[in-house]
Amino acid sequence: MPLLIVLMALLAFGLSLAAAAAVEGTRRRWRGVPARSGLSGRELATALLRRDGPAGARAEAAEGAERCAWRPGERLLLLRPETRARDLPACAAGVHAAGHALLGRAGRLAALLACLQSGFLWPALAASLLFWPAARLPLALAALAGTAFQVVHLLRVEWPASRRGAESLAGIGVVETPEEDRGFKELLLAESLASLGDAALGAPRRLLRRPAPS
Ligand SMILES: [Zn+2]
């Protein structure tokens, strides 16, 4: 039984890893493909908030932000810095973030948990497999519970945010070609998988990231 639980935990890690690879592969495929509207991700998010959000809502790209955050009191949507770009990945990130704001649902707890999973839980489980047999079972159970939470969060918050953003995007009619439509669909799916992927690789990727050139 303990062996089965450890195997299931390794399978859960594989699932998160596959999500991280899908997100990265999709963003890389569309990186540099300009949005035909000419808008940046931030400008597109602002347009969606103006159309469907509360009056006076706006979006800003925040330096160093790892994920978007909606501040309803200030009617301010904070975006990742790369949403200043005018390519499809930046625009899809803006649309997804606007979807979170329009639904009023964020993912702070999921992000915190992803940080804990990727920075501590998976490395500790790997170490326990080699050196620390007594910790294997509790760590594997914690890892399984964490992954289950991320999957529920994906279905209840992340995917609905992408769908709400896509609905609002259809309303402003800036997607002109079938190619661009396909790009947004793939990228919005990737945006909703991002926090599951972060649960495997978020913390190590942050450590390895080079500081942006100033
Ligand atoms: Zn999200």
Taking the centre of ligand 1 as the mean of its atom positions, its distance from the CA of residue 38, in whole angstroms, is 23
214 domain-assigned: no
Give the pLDDT of residue 97. Answer: 94
Q: How far away, in angstroms, is 33 Cα from ligand 1 center?
A: 22
Q: What is the pLDDT of residue 211?
A: 52
Dihedral sign for Cα atoms in the order 168, 171, 174, 177: positive
Question: Is the Cβ–Cβ distance between 83 and 166 less than 8 Å?
Answer: no
Residue 1 Cα to ligand 1 midpoint, Å, equals 35
CA–CA distance, 35 with 113 (Å, rounded to integer):
33
pLDDT at position 213 is: 43
Closest alpha carbon to 36 in 186, 183, 162, 168:
183
Structural domain boundaries enclosing 66: 2-207
Chain centroid to CA 50: 23
CA of 170 to the centre of ligand 1 (A): 19
In a domain, 212, yes or no: no
Helices and strands of the chain, counted as H and E runs: 8, 3
In degrees, to the nearest 5, what angle opens at C-alpha 24 toward C-alphas 141 and 151?
30
What per-residue confidence (pLDDT) applies to 152? 93
Per-residue confidence in pLDDT tens, the chain, 214 aa: 678 888 888 999 999 999 999 999 999 999 999 888 899 999 999 999 999 988 888 899 988 777 888 888 888 999 999 999 999 999 999 999 999 999 988 778 888 888 889 888 888 888 888 888 888 888 989 999 999 999 999 999 999 999 999 999 998 888 888 899 999 999 999 999 998 888 888 877 777 775 544 3
Is 153 inside a domain boundary?
yes
Q: How far apart are CA 123 and CA 120, in angstroms?
A: 6
In a domain, 150, yes or no: yes
Within 8 A by CB and 6+ apart from 211, the residues are: none
Query: Does residue 213 lie in a domain region?
Result: no
Residue 116: how many CB atoms within 10 A of its CB?
16
Strand pairing class (76-79; 69-71): antiparallel
pTM of the model: 0.88
User: What total of structural domains would you count in the chain?
Assistant: 1
Question: What is residue 212's predicted lDDT score, i.e. its pLDDT?
Answer: 47
DSSP-derived secondary structure letter, 53: S
Sign of the dihedral through C-alpha 164, 168, 170, 176: negative
In a domain? residue 202: yes
Ligand 1 center–CA 89 separation, angstroms: 14
Paired residues of 60 in beta bridges = 78
Cα(187)–Cα(29) distance, integer angstroms: 10
